């Protein structure tokens, strides 16, 4: 991924970037940034590690800086259950953007599920784990870090409902 990112930076003429291998504690990242942006990444990270990562990403935004984090939290095909599958098994059903399937859904928010493409494309795209985050926990983290306001914009990627949380740090951490 770093090699691909380096090729993309070179192709775009970006010369002021540093690429580094890291972990969910961002232990190799130093300093604060004027922009921290994550889109369609956190949904593939187990929620415990993802929440640690969100906390670290927020902490890396300097006073006056902007953060944009994309988090997933529901399936649009589960309208009767307000987007979250009940603890019992969930059977695949069509959604607005594709098909949703899951197994072992053991909680309300924070449940692990899978996204499967429509049957015709099943051989082209393998199933991928998608993690749903508890929005109470997600929104607690910027508030705890001194963020006074957050703006949300909802997303829907193949039936997986999420939101971009935009914020600006106004207080030191």
Q: Which residues have a Cβ under 8 Å from the Cβ of 32 and sit 6 or more positions away? A: 60, 61, 62, 65
DSSP state of 42: G
Beta bridge partners of 155: 162
pLDDT band for 90, please (50, 70, 90 cuts).
very low
Average pLDDT over residues 36-53: 92
Say what angle helices 47-59 and 135-144 make with each other, to 10 degrees.
Answer: 20
**Rounded distance between C-alpha atoms, residue 36 and residue 57, angstroms:** 7
Per-residue pLDDT at 43 exceeds 70: yes
How big is the chain, counted in residues?
173
Q: What is the helix (H) or strand (E) element at residue 156, kind and residue range?
A: strand 150-157
User: Do 29 and 60 meet the contact criterion of CB atoms below 8 Å apart?
Assistant: yes
Predicted confidence (pLDDT) per residue in 118-165, tens digit: 344 455 666 778 889 998 999 999 999 989 899 999 999 888 899 999
**Rounded distance between C-alpha atoms, residue 161 and residue 95, angstroms:** 11
Tell me which of 13-17, 24-28, 38-42, 46-50 is least confident: 24-28
Q: Counting Cβ atoms within 10 Å, is residue 90 exposed (0-12), middle (13-18) or buried (19+)? A: buried
- Cα distances (angstroms) measured from residue 166 to each of 38, 124, 156: 11, 34, 17
């Amino acid at each position: 991924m770093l090699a691909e990112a380096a090729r993309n930076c070179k192709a775009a003429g970006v010369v002021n970037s540093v690429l580094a291998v890291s972990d969910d504690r961002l232990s190799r990242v130093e300093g604060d940034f004027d922009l921290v942006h994550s889109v369609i990444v956190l949904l593939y990270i187990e929620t415990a590690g993802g929440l640690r990562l969100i906390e670290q990403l927020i902490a890396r935004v300097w006073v006056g800086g902007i953060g944009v984090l994309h988090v997933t939290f529901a399936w649009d095909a589960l309208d009767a259950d307000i987007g979250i599958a009940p603890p019992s098994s969930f059977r695949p059903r069509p959604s607005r953007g594709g098909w949703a399937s899951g197994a072992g859904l053991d909680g309300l928010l924070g449940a692990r599920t899978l996204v499967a493409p429509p049957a015709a494309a099943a051989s082209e795209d393998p199933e991928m784990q998608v993690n749903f985050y508890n929005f109470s926990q997600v929104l607690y983290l910027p508030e705890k870090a001194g963020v006074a306001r957050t703006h949300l914009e909802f997303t829907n990627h193949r039936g997986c409902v999420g939101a971009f949380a935009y914020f600006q740090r106004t207080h030191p951490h």
